[in-house]
C-alpha cells in the first residue's frame, strides 16, 4: 500500500447493483470476506470496539433481547394525520421520545461527533486504503479544512476524492455518514419496530426500505443551510404539480429528523419548511440561499395546491424528544446557530417505498458497501437484510444502480 501511483477513481454508488466489470482495484473489497472490509472501515485508532459492523450473531440477538421502546406510540398516532402529511409534506411529532431515550439519543449523537472529529484529527496514512479499494491519497486536507469541519456535519470538503474523503464517506469510515453502523443505540433505532411503524404510517404501505442515515450536528456559529429539496428519481422529479393522491403512488422518500434536545425558533439551528411545496416536485428550481431570496424567487405568487393559500416559510421551534417527518420533495432549510449557543443535535433516518405502478424501488443514496455485502450474504438479521435489499437486489430496483436514475 503506497501512494506512488495517483489513483482517484471512486466506487459506484451501489457497487453490488452494477452488472458490468468494475476496475480491479475497486472490485477488490467486494470479493473477500466481509470481516476484512469491516475492519478496514473501523481503523484501530478510533478505538470503537462496539461498532455494529463487526458484530456476531450473538450481538444482534442481544440487541433484540434488550430492546426498549423509543417512542410513545400513542402520542405519535395522536399527532400524525396521513391526509395532512400528504397535503403538507411534513408532520411534526412533539415530545414523542421516551424520557430515558432522550438521554441515550443525545449521548449517542455526541459520541458519533467525537468519533468523526477523532478521524479528522488522525493520520490518514494509518487507514487501510487498499482494502477500501484505492491507493493512499497523495493529498491531505489542510489544517483550515480540518478545523472548519470539527464539531459539525457536512463540512468536510468532498468535491473530489483526491484526499480520500469520498472513499471514507462511502465506506462510512467517517462516522457522520451512516452513524448507525458505528453506535449500537443508533443501529437499534434504525431497525426498531416503532421506527418502522412510523415509516409505514408516513409512506402508507407495509413494505419499506432504508435509504440513508446521517449525523446533522449544527455547532455554535453555524451559518445556516440554504433552501433546497431532494430528487427522488423514478421519473418523479421536475415533472409538474400533482395531487396528494397521485403523489402517494410515487417511489417516495421520508426524511425522519430526530431532535433529542429540540431547538428554539431563533438562531438555534432550527428547521424551516414550506407547507405544500413538495407537490410542485421541483428540486431543480426550488432553491435559494436565504429566506428573502426564497420569498422573492421560487415562493413568489405560488399557492398551496390543496388549500389554495399562499405558500409561506415556517420557522419551527421544538421541545426535546421531537421528530419531524418530511417528504424529500418538500422545501427545507436550516436557521443559523448563534455563537453563544450549544450544538444542535440531530440524526437523520431516511426510508422509502416502491413505486405503486412498477413495484420498483430507487437504489439507496448511501448504504455503505460493507452493509450491502453483509445483507446479500445473509450475515444480518432478516429485518436489516430486507431494509437494505435495494442496495444489492437488481431486480427490485428495475436495473437502476444509482438513486437519481429515472
The mean-pLDDT minimum among 2-6, 309-313, 351-355 falls in: 2-6
Buried b (16+ CB within 10 A) or exposed e, 121-130: eeebeebbbe
pLDDT of amino acid 403: 67
- What mean pLDDT value characterizes the chain? 94
Q: Which residues contact 122 (CB under 8 A, 6 or more apart)?
A: 43, 45, 46
User: With contact defined as beta carbons under 8 Å apart, do 219 and 116 qualify?
Assistant: no
- Kindly tell me if the per-residue pLDDT of 122 is higher than 50: yes
Torsions phi, psi for 188 (to 5 deg): -60, -40
pLDDT of amino acid 10: 81
Average pLDDT over residues 122-126: 96
Strand (E) or helix (H) holding 347: strand 347-352
Among residues 385, 156, 404, 138, which one has the least CA distance to residue 284? 404
pTM: 0.95
CATH assignment of 15-391? 2.60.120.620
Task: Name the percent of the chain lying above pLDDT 90.
Answer: 90
Average pLDDT over residues 306-320: 97
The upper half-sphere exposure of residue 297, i.e. CA atoms within 13 Å in the direction of its Cβ, equals 13
Average pLDDT over residues 324-331: 97
Torsions phi, psi for 209 (to 5 deg): -135, 155
Write out pLDDT tens, residues 158-185.
988 999 999 999 999 999 999 999 999 9
Average pLDDT over residues 39-49: 94
Q: How wide is the angle at C-alpha 193 spanned by C-alphas 192 and 199, nearest 5°? A: 95
Write out pLDDT tens, residues 376-387.
999 999 999 999
Q: How confident is the model at residue 234 (pLDDT cuts 50, 70, 90)?
A: confident
Ordered DSSP codes for 217-243:
-B-TT---EEEE-----TT-SSS----
- Kindly tell me if the per-residue pLDDT of 208 is higher than 60: yes
- Kindly tell me if the per-residue pLDDT of 358 is higher than 70: yes
Amino acid at each position: 500500500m503506497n501512494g506512488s501511483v495517483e489513483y482517484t477513481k471512486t466506487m459506484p454508488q451501489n457497487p453490488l447493483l452494477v452488472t458490468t466489470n468494475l476496475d480491479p482495484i475497486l472490485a477488490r473489497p467486494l470479493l473477500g470476506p466481509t470481516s476484512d472490509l469491516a475492519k478496514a472501515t473501523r481503523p484501530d485508532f478510533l478505538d470503537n470496539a462496539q461498532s455494529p459492523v463487526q458484530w456476531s450473531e450473538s450481538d444482534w440477538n442481544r440487541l433484540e433481547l434488550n430492546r426498549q421502546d423509543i417512542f410513545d406510540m400513542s402520542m405519535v398516532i395522536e399527532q400524525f394525520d396521513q391526509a395532512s402529511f400528504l397535503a403538507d409534506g411534513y408532520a411534526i411529532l412533539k415530545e414523542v421520545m421516551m424520557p430515558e431515550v432522550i438521554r441515550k439519543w443525545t449521548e449517542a449523537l455526541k459520541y458519533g461527533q467525537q468519533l468523526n472529529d477523532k478521524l479528522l484529527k488522525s493520520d490518514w496514512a494509518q487507514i487501510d486504503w487498499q482494502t477500501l479499494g484505492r491507493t493512499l491519497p497523495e493529498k491531505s486536507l489542510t489544517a483550515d479544512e480540518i478545523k472548519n469541519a470539527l464539531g459539525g456535519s457536512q463540512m468536510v470538503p468532498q468535491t473530489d476524492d483526491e484526499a480520500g474523503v469520498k472513499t471514507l464517506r462511502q465506506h462510512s469510515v467517517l462516522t457522520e455518514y451512516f452513524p448507525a453502523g458505528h453506535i449500537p443505540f443508533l443501529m437499534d433505532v434504525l431497525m426498531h419496530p416503532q421506527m418502522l411503524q412510523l415509516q409505514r404510517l408516513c409512506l402508507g404501505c407495509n413494505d419499506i426500505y432504508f435509504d440513508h442515515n446521517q449525523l446533522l450536528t449544527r455547532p455554535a456559529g453555524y451559518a445556516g443551510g440554504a433552501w433546497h429539496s431532494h430528487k427522488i428519481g423514478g421519473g418523479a422529479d421536475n415533472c409538474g404539480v400533482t395531487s396528494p393522491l397521485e403523489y402517494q403512488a410515487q417511489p417516495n422518500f421520508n426524511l425522519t429528523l430526530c431532535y433529542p434536545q429540540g431547538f428554539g425558533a431563533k438562531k438555534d439551528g432550527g428547521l424551516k419548511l414550506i407547507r405544500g411545496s413538495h407537490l410542485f416536485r421541483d428540486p431543480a428550481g426550488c432553491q435559494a440561499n436565504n429566506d428573502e431570496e426564497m420569498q422573492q424567487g421560487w415562493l413568489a405568487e405560488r399557492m398551496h395546491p390543496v388549500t389554495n393559500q399562499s405558500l409561506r416559510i415556517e420557522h419551527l421551534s421544538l421541545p426535546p424528544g421531537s421528530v419531524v417527518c418530511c417528504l424529500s420533495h418538500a422545501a427545507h432549510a436550516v436557521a443559523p446557530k448563534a455563537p453563544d449557543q450549544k450544538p444542535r443535535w440531530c440524526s437523520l433516518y431516511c426510508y422509502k417505498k416502491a413505486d405503486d405502478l412498477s413495484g420498483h424501488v430507487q437504489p439507496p443514496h448511501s448504504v455503505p458497501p460493507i452493509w450491502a455485502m453483509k445483507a446479500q450474504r445473509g450475515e444480518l438479521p432478516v429485518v436489516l437484510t430486507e431494509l437494505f435489499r435495494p442496495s444489492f437486489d437488481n431486480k427490485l430496483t428495475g436495473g437502476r444502480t444509482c438513486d437519481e436514475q429515472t
